[in-house]
């Protein structure tokens, strides 16, 4: 695993799930980590585990809040090397025509507006350093949409287009990549299914379509994010890496 010694990394949505595992993996690799989440208590609990970590209550859909997040990173650690745009949410799984407009709008702001805002305010700071990169957390659903999650999947399609467009705008200064995770049992499940754990029959149907025979672990996603942010991926930009156990092969 690459070293991120003396690097400063912002991970949004880092109080839970993929973000928490990613923040921990960067901290284990020597990074200074900004744990940014709308859940202030959760972020504080995660940051407390790290030798060099701070928690910043952040609503990624709000410009002032995102600016405060960037200012906090610079104030505490002097700059930014890696930005992981991970914070996101599903809507409740249902036919698109039944989805309440306000649910769709809120989700779109958290999944898409957030990537625009975080890049808009963090990238000018990142450009002051070399070897910097952004990693966005999209979803394999953007490429292989299932019924019930249409607007969510479209929001992740927008994240992929932001990734590739921004990659070409920022090269060669700042690399921009994305990961496309398959389903994982995180806080996301509650939002999508309304229950804490995926029901056994639903999980079995999902796993049947994943050649590797299981759902994703948070560590699978964290490892892929660290790779994309590492010097070993120094020639990769605009890459949208499927972390899906092979789900998208067929
Ligand atoms: N779990 C899955 O099956 C799955 C699959 C593909 C992609 N994803 C994506 O992975 C990312 C992480 O989700 P997760 O599965 O770890 O879910 P999670 O619910 O465990 O974590 C999401 C985190 O984002 C935070 N958050 C929500 N709204 C926020 C806001 N406005 N500002 C800042 N933080 C906010 C939450 O407090 C939480 O800590 C999301 O973008 C999600 O869409 C999840």
In a domain, 192, yes or no: no
- List CB contacts of 122: < 8 A, sequence separation 6 or more: 10, 70, 73, 80, 83, 134
Say how many domains are in the chain: 1
In a domain, 198, yes or no: no
Q: Tokens 């560590």 appear where? A: 219
In a domain, 89, yes or no: yes
* Known active-site residue 121: no
pLDDT, average across residues 43-61: 98
pLDDT of residue 12: 99
Asked if the model's pLDDT at residue 230 lies above 80, the reply is: yes
Mean pLDDT rounded to a whole number for the chain: 97
In a domain, 221, yes or no: yes
Catalytic residue among 26, 108, 121, 152: 152
In this predicted model, what pLDDT tens digit does every residue of 98-133 receive, in sequence order?
999 999 999 999 999 999 999 999 999 999 999 999
Q: Whose CA is nearest to atom 23 of ligand 1?
A: 13
pTM over 0.75: yes
In a domain, 206, yes or no: no
Alpha-carbon Rg of the chain, whole angstroms? Answer: 17
d(CA 137, CA 156): 8
Residue 74 half-sphere exposure, CB side, CA atoms within 13 Å?
Answer: 15
In a domain, 228, yes or no: yes
pLDDT of residue 104: 97
Containing domain of residue 122, as a range? Answer: 8-184+217-242
Tell me which of 11, 14, 15, 18 to substitute to probe ligand 1's pocket, judged by most ligand atoms within 8 Å of the beta carbon. 18
CATH code at position 109: 3.40.50.720
In a domain, 63, yes or no: yes
Binning pLDDT at 50, 70 and 90, where does residue 97 land?
very high
Q: Assign 68 to helix, strand or coil.
A: helix
pLDDT of residue 194: 87
In this predicted model, what pLDDT tens digit does every residue of 142-198 receive, in sequence order?
999 999 999 999 999 999 999 999 999 999 999 999 999 999 999 998 889 888 888
CB 226 within 8 A of CB 177: no
pLDDT of residue 9: 98
């Amino acid at each position: 695993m690459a070293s991120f010694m003396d690097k400063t990394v912002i991970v949004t949505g880092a109080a839970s799930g993929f973000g928490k595992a990613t923040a921990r993996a960067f901290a284990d690799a020597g990074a200074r980590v900004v744990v940014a989440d709308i859940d202030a208590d959760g972020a504080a609990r995660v940051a407390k585990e790290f030798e060099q970590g701070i928690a910043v209550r952040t609503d990624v859909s709000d410009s002032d809040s995102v600016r405060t997040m960037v200012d906090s990173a610079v104030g505490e650690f002097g700059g930014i090397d890696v930005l992981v745009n991970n914070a996101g949410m599903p809507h409740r799984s249902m036919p698109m025509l039944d989805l309440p407009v306000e649910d769709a709008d809120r989700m779109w702001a958290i999944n898409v507006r957030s990537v625009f805002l975080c890049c808009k305010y963090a990238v000018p700071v990142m450009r002051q350093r070399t070897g910097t990169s952004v990693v966005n957390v999209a979803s394999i659903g953007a490429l292989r949409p299932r019924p019930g999650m249409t607007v969510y999947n479209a929001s992740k399609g927008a994240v992929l287009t932001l990734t590739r467009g921004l990659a070409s705008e920022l090269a060669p200064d700042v690399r921009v990549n994305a990961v496309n995770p398959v389903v994982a049992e995180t806080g996301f499940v509650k939002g999508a299914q309304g229950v804490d754990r995926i029901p056994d029959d639903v999980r079995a149907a999902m796993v049947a379509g994943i050649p590797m025979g299981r759902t994703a672990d948070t560590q699978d996603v964290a490892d892929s994010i660290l790779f994309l942010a590492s010097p070993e991926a120094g020639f990769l930009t605009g890459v949208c890496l499927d972390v899906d156990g092979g789900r998208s092969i067929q």
